[in-house]
Amino acid sequence: MARIQYITQIDIDFGVVKLLRDECQRAGMHKPLVITDAGVRAAGVLQLALNALGDTPHAVFDATPSNPTEAAVRAAVAVYKSQGCDGLVAVGGGSSIDLAKGVAIAATHPGPLKTYATIEGGSALITEGVVPLIAVPTTAGTGSEVARGAIVIVDDGRKLGFHSWHLVPKAALLDPELTLGLPPMLTAATGMDAIAHCMETFMAPAVNPPADGISLDGLARGWAHIETATRDGSQREARWAMMSASMQGAMAFQKGLGCVHSLSHSLGGVNPRLHHGTLNAMFLPAVVKFNASAPSIQQEQRLQRMARAMGLAGCDSLGTEVADAITDINARLGLPTGLRAMGVTEDLFERVIDGAMADHCHKTNPRIATRDDYRAMLLASL
């Protein structure tokens, strides 16, 4: 049986952040906690959102780490409760939005956060009593603004996924204007995150034709515009296209992800300083090659269909053309040449493999990877 469900109210256009006050009222928020990070505040982007709130009472938590942690969730919950807040507004990239989802759970559900993690069987324990959330993304990458999941490093060091339809933001305000000042390398890394979402969800074997169509269109938009957005961040058409690609990847990945994310979640837990989108870009070529022989990939010509969306002439049976195109665009964008350039060494591999095997994305890959398979993908990504 295939179950297909979509998603939330989305406004996408330049200037839609001005709708924030009205959306808070629609969601029944009288005093939201605005969750962001120090970089978004320093760039002046937070102030644009606060201006849009007008005279709506609010509090601010701006200590989101680059990879959200359970400790940061607790700190934000303390502010939420002490300030008498009744809703959440996330202004930032995927880290701020995922942190807000962690707060939405922890502020209204008892016990440690890991209780509600997907691999712990906790999804069913997340109730409609979560704190309502509105998302205002300031990067074009994770798509968490339209997703039912969040990734948080819990107290025992694991980087775990939390998934529930109750966590989907009540509204997503996608304003490309908020991304115009995004630095080139962050544009590239978050953009490749979006492209990885579109590609990996399209390769996932679950039946979801709408997700396949959305992800292919998102791939085409992202692939066509990421270099322009990175090279000239003020190019408005490219910024709009990347924000759409990000949103589309996340609308589609309810279908499932795979080994790219199993590895990047695990390695990001081992070393939280590593950027998730950059890790996805590093792992994607090896995973494409690994997936190429999967029956579902071959029978449905998924490599060929991705190649067409990427503007490639064709695709060989081993997936090397698509994989090489990803490696080439990573280089043109100025991303690292591999994991070694990011400081990753082989002595970490067994810990990374342990985490990948336990990750919630492991079983939705078109080929189920063994430890040896993961080891080979890590070596190929060095």
* Phi/psi at 133 (5° precision): -135, 140
pLDDT band at residue 7 using 50, 70 and 90 as cut-offs: confident
Question: What is the mean predicted confidence (pLDDT) over 294-321?
Answer: 84
Is the pLDDT at 1 greater than 60? The verdict is no
- Among the ranges given (37-46, 301-310, 318-327), the one the predictor scored with the smallest mean pLDDT: 318-327
Amino acid 165 reads W
Provide the pLDDT for residue 3: 62
Q: Is the pLDDT of residue 316 over 70?
A: no
- 301-311 pLDDT, tens digit per residue, is 999 999 999 99
Give alpha helix (H) positions in 63-181.
Answer: 70-82, 94-106
Confidence at residue 318, expressed as pLDDT on a 0 to 100 scale:
59
Q: How confident is residue 320, by pLDDT bands cut at 50, 70 and 90?
A: confident
Q: Please check the confidence at residue 181 and state whether its pLDDT lies above 90.
A: no
Cα 74–chain centre separation: 22
pLDDT-derived band at 330 (thresholds 50, 70, 90) equals very high
Q: Is the pLDDT of residue 379 over 60?
A: yes
Decide: 253 and 147 in contact? Cβ < 8 Å.
yes
pTM for this model (two decimals): 0.92
In the sheet that holds 133-137, the strands lie side by side as 9-12, 171-174, 133-137, 87-92, 32-35, 59-61
What is the C-alpha to C-alpha distance for residues 182 and 92, in angstroms, rounded to an integer?
A: 11
Closest CA to 320 of 295, 290, 298, 281: 290
Tokens of 253: 């990945």
Strand 159-163 relative to strand 149-153: parallel, antiparallel, unpaired?
A: antiparallel
**Tokens standing for residue 330:** 């990573």
Percentage of the residues of the chain whose pLDDT score is greater than 90: 91
Of residues 345 and 318, more confidence is placed in 345
Please give the pLDDT value at position 319: 77
Q: What pLDDT, in 10s, does the model give residues 142-175?
A: 999 999 999 999 999 898 999 999 999 999 999 9
- C-alpha–C-alpha distance, residues 185 and 190, integer Å: 8
pLDDT at 314 > cutoff 70: no
What pLDDT, on a 0 to 100 scale, did the predictor assign at position 317? 53
**Mean pLDDT value of segment 327-351:** 97
Paired tokens of 370: 């063994």
Backbone angles phi, psi at 14, to 5 degrees: -65, 130
Dihedral class, residue 43 (left if φ above 0, else alpha if ψ from -120 to 50, else beta): alpha
- What does DSSP say about strands 133-137 and 149-153: parallel, antiparallel, or unpaired? unpaired
The CA–CA distances, whole Å, from 192 to 23, 198, 199, 219, 263 equal 30, 10, 10, 10, 16
Instruction: Specify the pLDDT at position 299.
Output: 87
Q: How far apart are CA 365 and CA 155, in angstroms?
A: 27
- pLDDT tens sequence across 197-245: 999 999 999 999 999 999 999 999 999 999 999 999 999 999 999 999 9
Residue 8 pLDDT grade (very low, low, confident, very high; cuts 50, 70, 90)? confident
**271-292 mean pLDDT:** 96
User: Regarding predicted confidence, which is higher, 1 or 32?
Assistant: 32
pLDDT band at 254 (very low <50, low <70, confident <90, very high): confident
User: 35 with 64: CB under 8 angstroms?
Assistant: yes
Average pLDDT for 326-354: 97
16 near 175, Cβ under 8 Å?
yes
CB burial of 316-329 (b: ≥16 within 10 Å; e: otherwise) equals eeebbbbbebbbeb
pLDDT at 91 over 80: yes
Please say whether the beta carbons of 223 and 195 come within 8 A. Answer: yes
Could you tell me the two tokens for 55?
């005279």
Sign, CA dihedral 131-136-142-148, equals positive
Tokens 């049986």, residue located: 1
- Mean pLDDT, range 17-35, rounded to an integer: 97
**What pLDDT does 4 receive?**
63
Reference 286, options 323, 311, 231; nearest CA is 323
Mean of per-residue pLDDT scores for the chain: 94
**Cα dihedral 58, 62, 67, 68 in deg (nearest 10):** -40
